[in-house]
Amino acid sequence: MKNMAFMVKKQSDHDFFLKRVINYVASFDYLQIISVLLLLAIGLIFIYSTGQQVGTVSASQFWLKQVQWIVMGTCFWTIMACTNYRDLKPLVWVFYVLCMILLVVVLVFGLKIYGARRWLDFGSGIRLQPSELAKLAVLLLLSYIMTLPAFNINKFRYVAWAGLLVAIPFLLIAKEPDLGSAIILIPIFIGLIFVSGLKWKYIITAGAILAVIITAEVINEVGEYYPFLKTYQKERLLTFLDPERDITHRGYNQFQARLAVGSGGATGKGIGEGTQNTLGFLPQTVSNNDFIFSVIAEETGFAGCMVLIISYILLTFSILRTAFTAPDDFGRFIGVGTACIFFAHSFINMGMSIGVNPVTGVCLPFVSYGGSFMLLSMTCLGILQSVYRHRKERNF
């Protein structure tokens, strides 16, 4: 009888453990995982493709470096996904201050490439772009302070306080200069303000102010007065507004990118068969990063672009679903802010390849070559996995 009771207890313990494992595995958001894996696969294929077309030894190894960044990002994703996202609250201020210090350090000691100091070089080919970490720092800090009981989004001083926390990294990043990364902070701020309960009268007021700013920009365009823009940034805007203005120099990259997109047709020329990149018309130094969408469009055509866009739609749906089912405002804000980051990056990157946006150095999420943004993206999604896994726990 004792043996029988022992066997029953052992079987019961085994069933309980197995049930816990199944519940744990089932708690993950597999729509997010599948869409990200698809995007990562697309990125690796075309980073490899562009590397083979360029033909140099270093370029042909880019895809291996990207694999390393993916592995490292997956580690961050796993750590964040398997912990409680609420445990990040005591660390958000520390992380924010650390990122601000790194942004100051990069201005003084950063690696200078093409006149910009954006990277910290740690040797052995390891470079870190603090501006990417700053996006996560701003997202987490705003998500935290907006959940504080004393914070009232409908009082100007609180909005101004939140705006100051965004303005500091914005100005530091713009100073590098890296206006493209700095601009990404704006949709994060606007997105969180919008979902935090701001009254419609303030939204309308903000829209009117924005209209005035746009009008002022148009007047500046007519008078060619740009007090806050560097010369090359002004020229990018002018070239964007008038593509034929400097087609052999500043407008060359975007012109060739549009040709690559248009020449892809319905099904493309075949992976590795794109001529714009192979013949050097598309800038090979950024064909695996800023203009990788042009390579995808040329080699896979409209069909390949639709697969890419649908993958982003599925990922965005997953992120917003997590935000809407989050157990508290902290998780909800993180989800909305992450969606704003990925949407802004995707819209700007694709848009500059087809001529609807000025050219800026903004990555295509999970597809473009690069380590810092990969770590940022995977960390954000890991935190969202934690939010999704704890969605049934209410903690107000």
Which of 86, 158, 120, 147 is CA-nearest to residue 372?
120
Instruction: Note the Cα 6 to chain centre separation in Å.
Output: 54
| Residue 396: predicted pLDDT | 42
Domain of residue 235 covers: 38-389
pTM: 0.87
Q: Assess if residue 23 is contained within a domain.
A: no
Identity at 109, one-letter amino acid code: F
Q: What is the DSSP string of 106-135?
A: HHHHPEEETTEEEEEE-STT-EE-HHHHHH
Q: Which residues pair with 111 in a beta bridge?
A: 119
Q: Assess if residue 7 is contained within a domain.
A: no
Which of 216, 86, 174, 195 is CA-nearest to residue 360?
174
Q: Which residues pair with 336 in a beta bridge?
A: none
Rounded to whole angstroms, what are the CA distances from 61 to 56, 178, 180, 207, 208? Answer: 9, 26, 27, 47, 50
Q: Assess if residue 8 is contained within a domain.
A: no
| Residue 239: predicted pLDDT | 64
Residue 279 and residue 54: Cα distance in Å, rounded?
9
Q: Residue ranges of the alpha helices (H) in the chain?
A: 2-26, 30-54, 57-60, 62-81, 92-109, 130-145, 156-174, 179-195, 200-223, 231-241, 252-263, 275-278, 292-324, 329-354, 372-389
| Residue 275: predicted pLDDT | 77
| Residue 262: predicted pLDDT | 84
Q: Assess if residue 173 is contained within a domain.
A: yes
At 266 the three-state DSSP class reads: coil
Instruction: Print pLDDT tens along the chain (396 aa).
Output: 555 555 555 556 556 566 666 767 778 899 999 999 999 999 999 988 887 665 565 666 888 889 999 999 999 999 999 999 999 999 999 999 999 999 999 998 888 776 678 888 877 667 889 999 999 999 999 999 999 998 988 888 888 899 899 999 999 998 888 888 888 999 999 999 988 888 877 778 777 776 776 666 556 655 555 555 566 656 666 666 666 666 666 667 777 788 888 888 888 888 878 777 777 677 666 778 888 998 999 999 999 999 999 999 999 999 999 999 999 999 999 999 999 999 999 999 998 888 788 777 789 999 999 888 999 999 999 999 999 998 877 654
Q: Assess if residue 113 is contained within a domain.
A: yes
Which of 96, 135, 79 is CA-nearest to residue 376?
135
| Residue 1: predicted pLDDT | 55
Q: Assess if residue 395 is contained within a domain.
A: no
Q: Assess if residue 171 is contained within a domain.
A: yes
Identity at 281, one-letter amino acid code: F
Residue 187 and residue 189: Cα distance in Å, rounded?
5
Q: How many domains does the chain have?
A: 1
| Residue 214: predicted pLDDT | 62
At 85 the three-state DSSP class reads: helix
Q: What is the largest CA-CA distance in the chain?
A: 96
Q: Assess if residue 333 is contained within a domain.
A: yes
